[in-house]
Amino acid sequence: MSQKTLEGKVGLVFGVANKRSIAWGIAKAWADAGARLIFNYQGERLKENVEELAATFGSETPVAACDVTRDEDIGKFFEFVRGKTGRVDLLLHSVAFAPKEALEGNFLDTSREAFRIAHDISAYSLVAVSRAAVPLMNAGGSIVTMSYYGAAKVVPHYNVMGVAKAALEASVRYLA
């Protein structure tokens, strides 16, 4: 019989887009280990996919909207979490985005707006959701985020995402 190492734990999952998402693989592993999960989606376009995937853990698996670029949405999402469970043990931040044009051509041509968007969504959102989650981590907890080799080494066509992932990694060090 396998040990359920996360039995009784509550995990929040940010970043599932579809069944190929890294976040989805981690969510399945956490559920297999006994965690109870709460999912979010960013935007109506992803709602149906996330609801369908979350339902594989049971029709009562909570799912709610949360635009990680809006503090009010983050606040509403965590009020939803408080209403469902009152605590958090695990937080998965698997969120990243950069405008397509910022991933093509020369990094030097990155616009200020593309740079801001990539950093807000891919790096600052970890700080914002962590700030909201930590008060619910009464018994401690774990915060996990996803980075990539392009944070440390130049990778063709990764451009502003590499810089945003480097900022994400630095944010992790400062949050710790």
Token reading at 67 = 């635009």
Q: What are phi and psi of 15, to 5 degrees?
A: 115, 5
- Record the pTM: 0.94
Mean pLDDT of 144-153: 98
Percent share of the chain, pLDDT over 70: 99
Catalytic residues: 148, 158
| pLDDT tens digits along 49-95 | 999 999 999 999 999 999 999 999 999 999 999 999 999 999 999 99
- Structural domains in the chain? 10-175 (3.40.50.720)
pLDDT in tens, 92-120: 999 999 999 999 999 999 999 999 999 99
CA-wise closest residue to 110 among 143, 142, 58, 158? 158
Distance CA 154, CA 169 (A): 15
Taking 80 as the threshold, does the pLDDT of residue 2 lie above it? no
Average pLDDT value over all residues in the chain: 97
Q: How confident is the model at residue 160 (pLDDT cuts 50, 70, 90)?
A: very high
